[in-house]
Amino acid sequence: MRHALGISVHTGWAACVVVGGSLQKPEIVARDIIEILGDAERFCFHMAAEMKPPEASEWFARTRDKALANASRALAPFLTNEVVACAIVAREGKVGDLVQVLASHSRIHSAEGSFYRDLLRDACPIPVHIVPPSSLDVSKVGKLMPPPWGKDQKLAALAAWKAIC
């Protein structure tokens, strides 16, 4: 049976759900919360904004490398041979140049969302689809699992089913 991994992205962490079947005949194979960066580093653009540009650039590159390694390690248990696609629940958008991002607080917030979406896409060795949250209706997913089975898990599951249907 073909399975797909769905990921609902947050700042520093993500909810992951592996599904099979379909929304009409659902199969929940695995689910968990993964940590990409801990509390001390997860707001990486905010932290970089407190630094001088050369220092911020070097620190940010190291932090990105660490986050990518953490994401790859955290996703590995979900990526069995049956998992053929990944769907990340996130908005499209570009991070942009670090100096430009750090010049605007609103850009910092947008960039953090894009940063984690892109990290997870880069960490995933299978085809990845970006699914806008506005295209998903969580009311279509009932209580398929005991807690934690909230909005994030439902969004991840719906996105994953989109990827394999």
**95, pLDDT greater than 80:** no
Give the pLDDT score at 100.
87
Question: What CATH number did the domain enclosing 7 receive?
Answer: 3.30.420.40
Domain count, the chain: 1
Q: How far is CA 122 from CA 34, 42, 70, 72, in A?
A: 16, 17, 12, 8
Taking only the tens place, the pLDDT of each residue in 141-162 is: 888 887 778 999 999 999 999 9
Q: How far is CA 60 from CA 41, 44, 49, 63, 110, in A?
A: 10, 7, 10, 5, 16
Provide CB contacts within 8 A for 45, sequence distance 6+.
101, 102, 108, 109, 111, 112, 115
- pTM comes to 0.93
Q: Quick one: average pLDDT of 1-25?
A: 94
Give the pLDDT score at 71.
98
Q: Residue 115 belongs to what domain range?
A: 3-164
**133, pLDDT greater than 80:** yes
Give the pLDDT score at 144.
85
